[in-house]
Structure 1
Amino acid sequence: MRIGITIGLHREDETMWNNGIKQNAIFLADALGRCVGVSAVMLLNTTQVPIGEALPWSLTRYPTRRFEEAKDDIDLLIELGGQIDPVQTAYLKARGVRLVSYCCGSEYVVAMESMLFGQSAGGAELFVNQRYDAIWMVPQVAATSRPFFEVLRRQVAQVVPFVWSPSLLEAKMRSAPSGGEYVPHTGGRRLSVMEPNANVVKFCLYPILIAELAYREHPAGIARLQVTNALRLAGESAAFVTIMNQLDIVREQKAVFLDRFDTPSFLAEHTDVVISHQMENPLNYFYLEVCWQGYALIHNASLCSDLGYYYRNNDVVSGAKCLLQAMMHHDVSHASQRFAQRHLIRRYFPENADIVRTYEALLCQVMARPVR
């Protein structure tokens, strides 16, 4: 079986760290390439951006082609990071190719915000494909988006294994001091909030409030609070500025609001503790990257509650207690904690036998179905 996984490039030298979609495609390719009966897995770009050596992954290890050049060389297409159109769909169906929608984003939330606030989500040109042979979704989006997928796409959705590997992270940090891993030090802690602030799912406000509560209790323990992806908010949102100016950590000039940074570099150069919050997206690569590198992670992600320092739901008081605990004790046990967390994170590895067997079964199921 020959499998294509879609990506949608915007630049010839596109970074791996602007979102998790390309990483998801690569890790999925790693897992599927280990499945019995799979002879080839390739990444297929659905845009007109040329494919060349400027891309941040090995084209030998991860063959990457334009969709139009490879559409006759696949038996199954997994639509993950780039969408095909009705004509391309009909072409594949005429060839007997199976088509899988792989859902790894909060699509219901994006659609809802688009309708309510006029944000772009495809608009009139949005193509709702109803010819998928299967819908696969990662566990963290099932609660909010499953009904949205199933009703519109007229197909039952299945939860599939979440896949992650440290390979890209470690390649990125190979030349960094200590491999970009956390190094204990004396003095106040550098706190970081790195939510994307692209929608309500992962927003910076509750992490900032957690930092504020910890600062009120132990101000000397905090060197500074850094909020990335927040420069626009600080410059354009009067409501955001008003709320921030109620906080001691802001009024006493211990907080800075910054632009976008890639996660590995910012961790290695600027961070001791990461504070995070999500609504209905309780597992993502960011948490695994932070914990793999040994940084303290304060978070409310229930699907990985055994990693880092976990608080429930929106309980910022509990989150502040977790933060104070990490500030006082993380350095003492950081090496053993990093070792233990890496052992836990291996459950997501592409070579995990359970993950491979599950995807083998999923592939068999979809290939056994009549083409829709």
Structure 2
Amino acid sequence: MAIRIGITVVTHQGQNIWQNGLGQNVVFLAEALQKLPFVETISLIDVGDQNALPPQVDMAAKGLRIMRTQDATDAVDVVFEMGGTLDTQWLDLMRARGKKVVFYCCGQPYVGLVEPPVFEKPVHTIRPDRYDEIWLMHKDRLSIPMMRTLHRCDVHLIPFIWHPQFLENRIAEVNEHGLQFGYQPRTDASMKRDQKPQGFRVGIFEPNISVVKASSIPMLICEEAYRADQSSVSAMHALNTLHMKDHPTLVHLANSLDVVKAGKATFHGRHDIAGFMAQFADAVVSHQWGNDQNYLYPDALYGGYPLIHNSPWLDAGYYYPNFDAQEGGRQLLRATREHDASLADYRARAQRVIDSVNPFNQANLDIFADRLLHVCNNGEAKVGV
């Protein structure tokens, strides 16, 4: 059996691989599937308008090709709807010809279903019964029954994958400007025993476009730490906040915080983690709700930065549960006091996480192979016709 795979992408003018994690995830999946001996080709099906991936992706070196939907009709056996939404009539045609269609769901399914009508967000609606299988990551395990009922097909868990290739390329660009990505210890032998290290410059990278990942709890965590010890936080940088800087709720929250009143808070637009951390921050405070696998985590861990988070999946960093801003503040204080001394152990734990999510980890490849063979064999997919 030789399987030809198509994975959807949506291209647009001025695109950048750092705009979101989805673009990186598509590349990681494509490269992982290329490693499977029964996969013949990987094609990226573009539902956008550029017919090219962001400049950070070397298509030729990766052995990937990009094509329009109509050109993929006779070129693929299994279609992954992942980075962009395909025309339902085309999918019906492909399934009628014996091809298989898998929805590789990256976004949080429940929030994607509920937030648009509740908050009057624009949304592109699709007919649910379009797929042969749905693949979800562990972060969305609670949505399995919902997705089975909605889409009328089997739902399976697949690995969360991440690789440092794009981060390493960005780090090299940052280095060319004389900047260094990676945690730098704040203590040295010249410091007196009773002298405190410099407080952390905290970066908050939540996108603030959904309740899934927003900056409110991280801001309160910084506030908790600052109230307990004003030397613990020397700066708080809240990224991705400019689009809501004038909203009364954010203004009220920010103006109530001591760390803001002290002039230590700055609100920014969007920045990539390597460029921003190399210049302005040396710790990351994060919060999620039903999204405990997040590319921000391995990005920060790869640099050895203290990561204060509430992801029960993540066996690294400094963990606080749920919405517990007080415990988050204690973990931030703990990091300020212990991180330098325990940096070697911290990096070792971080590396174990990074190894576990590597797309080319054999355990991950085996799961992808089993799932791909299952969707083809159980439905007797027509291959190469």
TM-score over 0.5 for the pair = yes
Q: 1:151-204: per-residue Cα shift (whole Å, max 9, x none)?
A: 221112111111111111111111334762222235331011111111101111
* SS of corresponding position for 2:334: helix
254, 264, 276: which one aligns with 2:274: 264
- Tell me the equivalent position of 1:302: 312
In structure 2, what is the equivalent of residue 290 of structure 1?
300
Residue 164 (structure 2) pairs with residue 134 (structure 1): no
- Whether 2:114 is the aligned partner of 1:112: answer yes
Confirm or deny that 1:329 pairs with 2:338: yes
Aligned to 1:2: 4
Q: Distance in 2 between matches of 1:261 and 1:127?
A: 32
Contact 2:88 2:127 in 1 (8 A): no
**What is the one-letter code of the residue matched to 1:264?**
A
What is the correspondence of 1:248-263 to structure 2 with a 5 Å cutoff?
248-263=258-273
Superposed displacement of residue 129, structure 1: 3.9
Greater shift, 330-339 or 80-89, is seen at: 330-339
Q: Name the stretch that deviates more: 133-142 or 183-192.
A: 183-192
Q: Deviations over 1:28-72 (max 9, x none)?
A: 1122111231122222212232327x6320111051312332331
- One-letter amino acid of the counterpart of residue 41, structure 1: I
2:316 and 2:346 in contact (8 A); partners too: no
Which of 131, 149, 152 is matched with 1:151 structurally? 149
The superposition leaves residues 130-170 of structure 1 with CA deviations (integer Å, 9 ceiling, x where unpaired) of: 13111111111221x33332222111211111111111111
Which residue of the other structure, out of 200, 204, 223, is the alignment partner of 2:234?
223
Deviation at 1:16, TM superposition (A): 0.7
User: Is 2:208–2:214's contact at 8 Å kept on the other side of the alignment?
Assistant: yes
Could you tell me how far 1:114 is from its partner in structure 2?
0.9
> Per the alignment, in what secondary structure is the counterpart of residue 271 of structure 2?
coil
Distance 1:203 1:62, change over 3 A: farther
Residues 15-38 of structure 1 deviation map (CA, whole Å, 9 limit, x = unaligned): 111111111111111221112311
Q: Which runs of 5+ in 1 are unaligned?
A: none
Letter in 1 for 2:80: I
**Distance across 1 between alignment mates of 2:240 and 2:118:** 23
> Does the residue aligned with 2:340 lie in a helix, a strand or coil?
helix
Q: Distance in 1 between matches of 2:74 and 2:64?
A: 15
Mapping of 1:21-32 within 5 angstroms? 21-32=22-33
Q: Residue 160 of structure 1 corresponds to which residue in structure 2?
A: 158
RMSD: 1.8
Counterparts of residues 309-328 of structure 1 (less than 5 Å): 309-328=318-337
Say which SS state the counterpart of residue 159 (structure 1) adopts.
strand
**Structure 2: distance between partners of 1:14 and 1:109:** 25
Q: Which residue of 1 aligns with 2:190?
A: none
Q: Identify the structure with the greater helix proportion.
A: 1
For the residue of structure 2 that corresponds to 1:295, the secondary structure is coil
* AA of the residue aligned to 2:220: L
Counterpart contact for 1:43–1:62, Cα < 8 Å: no
d(CA) in 1 for partners of 2:253 and 2:170?
36
Check 1:175–1:243 CA distance in 2 against 1; reply closer, same or farther (3 A cut). Answer: closer
Give yes or no for contact 1:42–1:62 (8 Å, CA) kept in 2. no
- C-alpha distance in 1, partners of 2:147/2:16? 29
Native 8 Å contact 2:42 2:65 kept in 1? no
TM-score by length of 2: 0.90
**TM-score between the two structures when normalised by the length of structure 1:** 0.93
Pairs within 5 Å for 1:1-372: 1-11=3-13, 13-51=14-52, 55-60=55-60, 61-66=62-67, 67-122=69-124, 126-143=125-142, 145-177=143-175, 180-185=181-186, 187-235=198-246, 237-304=247-314, 306-370=315-379
Which amino acid in 1 is paired with 2:276?
Answer: F
Structure 1 Cα separation of the partners of residues 43 and 342 of structure 2: 42
Matched letter for residue 215 of structure 1: Y
Q: Number of matched residues?
A: 364
Q: Is the 2:292–2:311 contact (alpha carbons within 8 Å) kept by the matching residues of 1?
A: yes
